[in-house]
Amino acid sequence: MDVKKLVSQMTLEEKAGLCSGKTMWHTKSVERLGIPSIMVSDGPHGLRKQDLTKTEHPNHNDSIIAVCFPTAAGLTSAFDRESIYRMGETLGEKCQAEDEAIIHGPRANIKRTRLSGLNF
């Protein structure tokens, strides 16, 4: 698949639609180009998949039990690239097992400011 060619065929509205999403957990599809809607997951320190049989709205009690790792600040301060690499591989495997196309994480740096608190 030639992604650059596919993106060049998209309208501005279709591109923006991929950024805004169809629902809280799904991207919009672009049917005319064969781009399906996909489910995403958040982290930032693991894989959290929402149980959508109950609701589309976030409720941590409706999360499917998954994997979680130490925070990014803890991982990066250990300076252990091999451990971080293995964590990334494990998260990729878990995403595939849960049929997730995108995970919002893991993070390697979190900026905190007095103006915005936790800022990813």
User: Mean pLDDT in runs of 10 for the chain (120 residues)?
Assistant: 92 90 86 90 76 62 75 77 88 86 70 58
Look at residue 42 in the predicted model and tell me its pLDDT: 74
Whether 25 contacts 101, CB under 8 Å: no
Provide the token pair at 96. Answer: 């595939």
Supply the range of the domain harboring residue 76. 39-112
32-71 as b/e: b if 16+ CB within 10 A: eeebeebbbbbbbbbbbbbeeeeeeeeeeeeeeebbebee
Q: Same domain for 21 and 66? A: no
Q: Same domain for 58 and 107? A: yes
Look at residue 32 in the predicted model and tell me its pLDDT: 94
Q: Same domain for 14 and 50? A: no
Tell me how many domains the chain contains. 2
Cα separation, 55 vs 101, in Å, equals 20
